[in-house]
Structure 1
């Protein structure tokens, strides 16, 4: 009987020692590193989503957007630069073309058209035509025009010329001088070049 009690006590002590080595299961149990999911070896994340790359935009930041160019539907008229305005205005070539047209009209004996190319001619069209009664034709050599002189609401340009005017008696009269042409840049004015005055000397 005494031996049975002693054996029972030894077995009970051994059972208690064995149970004491176990950790309690439940909510207080601690997960070890091996129990966590690990990323794949190719760089994927533990959630299975692809890892962000260096070139991936930050989704929490709005990139600065470039303003879209103005269109007619925006109701904003594009600005006009001085360069584009200058290209639309009659320039030096247009002034030279007026002088060429002037003498072409005289040689065609279209004196009304030639008279209309003057800005303010004190002569009537008939008086102007009478001045060329003895002229059979005029050849003109146009020199290098001067710069366009910008005034208040107007433009001027000076163009040198050499003329050879054939006369009905067979002689040829030579003239040198210059024309001054004018154009208006004010609203309602004449935007085209017109002859303002001429200074010619017979050689």
Structure 2
């Protein structure tokens, strides 16, 4: 049986090669002192937050960031609505310290007499700092206002807002608004 003899010969040669390759490798990590102990790996695991906890915290911060951005845009709309309605007291309350600077950068809007209608559009607020959630934003606006005489006026600009000192809401810190020439 020549086929059986070849198989036996091949098995006889392969078995020692397999055994040699298993014993000639590098020593296990424990033998060279590089394996972490069970105590050390438990300490390292405790120091690192669980991936799901980290993802959860990041998700919560992003949710709070989105909510704050929406609040900032809403405050600008409320402020401009109060101006359009001629309610200076309410409009002034949206500014830091409860009043605008002596010469507000949106003075041309503040000095407009009664308006027939106001259309306020804003693009997404932009964070002005790296914090999440942010403590300062800029809200770009485009305004279309109609005077009682039917004159249509267009304005563009931005409002910068900062969180109140007690972090309960936004306050306008500065504005830059100018007439848009089409």
1: CA distance, partners of 2:128 / 2:58: 16
In structure 1, stretches of 5+ residues that fail to align are 1-80
2: CA distance, partners of 1:123 / 1:113: 17
CA contact (8 A) 1:103 1:114 kept: yes
Q: CA deviation at 1:170?
A: 2.3
Which protein has the bigger helix share?
2
Give the 4+ runs in structure 1 shifted more than 6 A.
Answer: 127-130
* Counterpart in the other structure of 2:92: 115
Q: CA deviation at 1:104?
A: 2.6
Q: Across the two proteins, how many residue pairs are aligned to each other?
A: 120
* Counterpart in the other structure of 1:27: none
The within-5 A match list for 1:49-88 is 84=60, 87=63
Deviations 1:14-37 (CA, angstroms, capped at 9, x unpaired): xxxxxxxxxxxxxxxxxxxxxxxx
**RMSD of aligned C-alpha atoms?**
3.7
Q: Higher Cα Rg: structure 1 or 2?
A: 1
1: CA distance, partners of 2:177 / 2:109: 18
* Counterpart in the other structure of 1:101: 78
Q: TM-score, normalised by structure 1?
A: 0.47
The within-5 A match list for 1:1-203 is 84=60, 87=63, 91-120=68-97, 121-123=100-102, 131-150=111-130, 155-184=135-164, 189-203=166-180
In structure 2, stretches of 5+ residues that fail to align are 1-56
Q: CA deviation at 1:86?
A: 6.5
CA contact (8 A) 1:162 1:175 kept: yes
1: CA distance, partners of 2:109 / 2:159: 19
Higher relative contact order, chain-length normalized (CA < 8 Å, sep 6+): 2
Q: CA deviation at 1:197?
A: 1.2
Q: CA deviation at 1:123?
A: 4.6
CA contact (8 A) 2:82 2:90 kept: yes
- Could you say if the C-alpha distance between residues 174 and 156 of structure 1 is closer, same or farther in structure 2, counting changes exceeding 3 Å? same
1: CA distance, partners of 2:179 / 2:173: 20
